[in-house]
Amino acid sequence: MNYDMEDTQNSAPGSLPANQASKLAPRRAPDAQSTTKRLQTELMQLMNSPTPGISAFPSADGNILTWAATIEGPEETPYEGLTLKLSFAFPSNYPYAPPTVLFQTPIYHPNVDFSGRICLDILKDKWTAAYNIQTVLLSLQSLLGEPNNASPLNGEAAELWDKDMEEFKKKVTARHQDIDDE
């Protein structure tokens, strides 16, 4: 019965074939070692083939289950030229459950609320084990240029995005402030 949900999750493009996923299902039990290993592998990938505009690294305390990430605001969006910081908190059964991602930098965006919480389907019900940090960051980067105004967390932003882009840009600039973590 649990596999039904598995299947819907795996219907996302690029996910594992269903039979493989069902094989993985019994291993769902938290396995700290494999999570660490996976995150280390992801880190190596990120380091070996860096993607311009995004960057991520485990947090300074050396806990590999919490990461910090940076997204450069994509060009030709209101966020152009801004640097946005995020935090990732990985559950112990990652990648079978999505990480908790929050914007650390204050951001004015239809799908982000004022405490940095993000409304993005792949971070919730559409999550699959095939996603990784890099894809999440890329999705977030594209979300900046193409907000999902159908389900806004910030109604005013959604409205302004559609009606008054100038005002929206002003709000973005007003809300943004560079954080310097110490």
Partner 1 sequence: MTKALSSTRQKRVFASVFGGTNEISQPTPDAGFTAPGQRFGGPLVDISHNFPDALESNIRDEPRGLSQEESSYVRDRVRWDRSWHTVTHALLLPDFPKNLNSAVPLLPRKETLDPSFDHSLENVLYPGRQVPLARDTEDIVEWHTQQVRSHFLHQVLPIILHLRETQAPDPLILTSVKILETAHRQYLHGLGIIKERMDKDVSAPGMSMLVLDKFRRDLHAIISKSVMEPLSAAIRRILERQVYTILGLPLAKGNDKAPITPEGPGSEEASRQLLGLVESFKSVGLAGEKLQVSFAEIMNNSMTEYVYRGCKGIWDAEEGDAGASESAVLPRTAHNSSPSRCVTDLCDWIENRYAKLAVQVLSVLDINNKVTWGEKERFKEMGIGRLAELRINELFDIVKNWPHSGGALDDLRTAITTPQRRLHLTEAFADSLNEKLLHPGTSTLQILQTYISMIWSFHALDHSKVLLDRVAFPLQIYLCSREDTVRIIITGLLADPEESRTNPSTADKLVELAILLNSGAPKIELRANDEGLDWHDMEWVPDPVDAGPGYKRSKSADVIGTLIKDLGAQEVFIKEFQNIIGENLLKHDGTFEREIKVLELLKVRFGEAPLQACEVMLKDIQDSSRVNGLIRKNQSLQNFPNIAEITSQPCLNAKILSRLFWPQLQDDSYIVPSEIAELQKRYEEGFEALKASRKLTWLHALGQATVELELEDRTVVEEVHTWQASVIWAFQDDAQHSVEQLGESLEMEEPLVRSALKFWVNKLVLQEVSPSTFAVLETLNQEDRARSNAQAAASSSAANQGDGEEESAQAKKDGIEGGKEAMYWPFVEAMLKNSSSQMPLQQIAMMLKMLVVEGFPYSNEELREFLARKVAEEVLELVGGKYKLRK
Quote the tokens at residue 20. 């493989």
Q: Which stretch binds partner 1 (CB under 8 A): 9-17, 21-29, 55-63, 165-173?
A: 55-63
44 part of the interface to partner 1, by CB under 8 A: yes
Q: Does 138 bind partner 1 (CB under 8 A)?
A: no
The verdict on whether 119 is a catalytic residue reads yes
Q: By CB under 8 A, is residue 142 in contact with partner 1?
A: no
The span from the CA of 167 to the CA of 169, in Å, is 5
User: Which helix H or strand E contains 55, and what residues bound it?
Assistant: strand 54-58
Residue 10 burial (CB count, 10 A)? 20
CA distances from 129 to 67, 105, 143 (A): 18, 27, 20
Buried b (16+ CB within 10 A) or exposed e, 129-155: bebbbbebbbbbbebbeebeeeebbbe
Compute how many residues bind partner 1; rule: CB under 8 A: 24
Q: Which of residues 75-114 bind partner 1 (CB under 8 A)?
A: 85
Complex with partner 1: residue 38 or 126, whichever CB lies closer: 38
Residue choice 13, 17, 26, 62 for contact with partner 1 (CB under 8 A): 62
Q: Closest approach of Cβ 85 to partner 1, in Å?
A: 7
Site membership for partner 1, residue 33 (CB under 8 A): no
Neighbours of 86 (CB within 10 A): 22
Give the residue numbers annotated as catalytic, written as ranges. Answer: 119
Which residues form the interface with partner 1 (CB under 8 A)? Answer: 40-41, 43-44, 46-48, 50, 55-60, 62, 64, 67-70, 85, 180-182
